[in-house]
Amino acid sequence: MTAPGAWRRKAEPTWCPGCGNYKILDALTRALLSLKIEPWNVVIVSGIGQAGKLPHYVQCNFLHGLHGRALSHAAGVKLANPRLTVIAVGGDGDMYGEGGSHLVQAFRRNMDITCLVHNNGVYGLTKGQPSPTAGQGTATRLTPQGTGMPPFNPLAAGLAADGTFIARGYANETEQLAELIAGAVRHRGFGFVDILQPCVTYNKVHTYQWFEERVYDLGHEEYRPTDRMQAMQVALEWPESGDDRIALGVLYQGSRRTHEEQLPGLQSGPLNEPRWNREMLSKVADEFC
C-alpha cells in the first residue's frame, strides 16, 4: 500500500463543487498513507449527513450507521476487536447535535479511536438549517429572526470532559490537517479533531475567505499542548466572542489509560470469536445449586 491515491475508492463523491469535504477526504487519505497501515485493518464508522458519506470514498472497511450514533458504533467495533484502527466521522449536526451525549461520554471513556468532525455550522443534507455550531444570530428559513443561542464549543467541552487529544484543523490547510489526523490516530486514546469546513452552498458567513483571515497555527507560537488551562483559554477564543482569531493545531494532549486497557474481558484477546467452555458453563450452573 504505497501508491498515492491507493486509499481512494473508485466512487464519485456527491458533494457540491468546492465543498470543504474534498479537502478533508484528501487530508484523511494522506494521513492513512503516512500511517503505513493496511486498508483491511481500518474501519471508518460514520453517521448521516454530507460528512457521513465520506467512507464511501475511502478504500477500507466501513460501517455507515445512524445519524448521531457513529461513536457508539465505533466503541462496539473497537471493543470487539481492539486490533482494528477505528475512525468515526460525522458532521457537526451528527456529532454535536444528535450524538452530543455520546461525544461527552467518548471523551470520558477514552477509547483508542479517532473522531473527525466536519464542522461547517450548517445542516447540508437537509438544506441549510442552523447546526449546533451556527453563529449566534444566523438567519435561515428555520430561524428567520436569527438563532438565539451562541455556538456550541466542542473543544472546550472536550477539555471539560477530560478528553486526552483535542485538536482543530481547517479543511484548506490540508497538509496540517493530514498531520493532525495522523496524530489523532497515533494518539493512544480518544483522538478528537474538529475540522473547520467551509460550506459553499449554505454558509455565507464562514467562507474560505473568512477563515483564511483568522486562522493561525499553534505550532508557530510558544505553546505547550500539555497545559489544560492554557488549552481552555485557546479553546474559548472565537471571533464572535471577541477574539478575532482561530487557533489550529493540537490544543491539548494528555495521557491516561484507555478504556479497553482496563477491561478484564479483553485480556485474552479480541471478542470476535464465540468462545465455548463446557467446564466453565457447568461451574456456572453449579453456582445455582
Cβ atoms of 136 and 240 closer than 8 Å:
yes
218 is a contact residue toward other proteins (CB under 8 A): no
Q: Applying CB under 8 A, which part among 131-139, 187-195, 245-253, 264-272 lies near other proteins? A: 264-272
- Of 119-127, 138-146, 167-175, 257-265, the segment contacting other proteins by CB under 8 A is 257-265
Q: CA geometry: angle at 284 spanning 278 and 289, to 5°?
A: 125
278 binds other proteins (CB under 8 A): yes
Is 13 near other proteins (CB under 8 A)? no
Binding piece for other proteins, criterion CB under 8 A, among 52-60, 163-171, 178-186, 204-212: 52-60
Q: How far is the CB of 118 from other proteins (least distance, A)?
A: 18
Window contacting other proteins (CB under 8 A); options: 19-27, 162-170, 244-252, 278-286: 278-286
* Residue 17 in the binding site for other proteins (CB under 8 A): no
Distance CA 114, CA 193 (A): 8
Residues 100-139 that bind other proteins (CB under 8 A): 101-102, 104-105
Label residue 13 exposed, middle or buried (CB < 10 Å: 0-12, 13-18, 19+).
middle
Residue 86's H or E segment, with its range, is: strand 85-91
What CA–CA distances, in Å, run from 24 to 19, 27, 101, 186, 282?
9, 5, 25, 18, 53
What is the maximum alpha-carbon separation in the chain?
Answer: 74
Q: Does 2 bind other proteins (CB under 8 A)?
A: no
Which is nearer to other proteins, 41 or 255 (by Cβ)?
A: 41
* Cα 76 from Cα 55, distance rounded (Å): 18
- The answer to whether residue 157 forms part of the interface with other proteins (CB under 8 A) is no
Minimal distance in Å, beta carbon 46 to other proteins?
10
Alpha-helical (H) ranges within 37-194 are 70-80, 92, 100-109, 154-160, 174-186
Give the shortest CB-77-to-other proteins separation in angstroms.
4
Distance of alpha carbon 197 from alpha carbon 194, whole angstroms: 9
Residues 90 and 46: their CA atoms lie apart, in Å, by 6
Are the CB atoms for 39 and 60 separated by under 8 Å?
A: yes
36 binds other proteins (CB under 8 A): no
Backbone angles phi, psi at 43, to 5 degrees: -120, 125
Q: How far apart (Å, rounded) are the C-alpha atoms in residues 146 and 283? A: 65
* Size of site (CB under 8 A) for other proteins: 59
Binding piece for other proteins, criterion CB under 8 A, among 49-57, 129-137, 187-195, 198-206: 49-57
Nearer to other proteins, 65 or 198 (CB): 65
Q: Which stretch binds other proteins (CB under 8 A): 76-84, 124-132, 138-146, 208-216?
A: 76-84
Please identify which residue in 40, 146, 256, 257 interacts with other proteins, judged by CB under 8 A: 40
180-63-267 Cα angle (round to 5): 75
Output the smallest distance, CB 230 to other proteins, in A.
29
Q: Which residues bind other proteins (CB under 8 A)?
A: 11, 38-41, 43, 45, 48, 53, 55-56, 59-66, 69, 72-81, 83-84, 101-102, 104-105, 263-278, 280-282, 284-285, 288-289
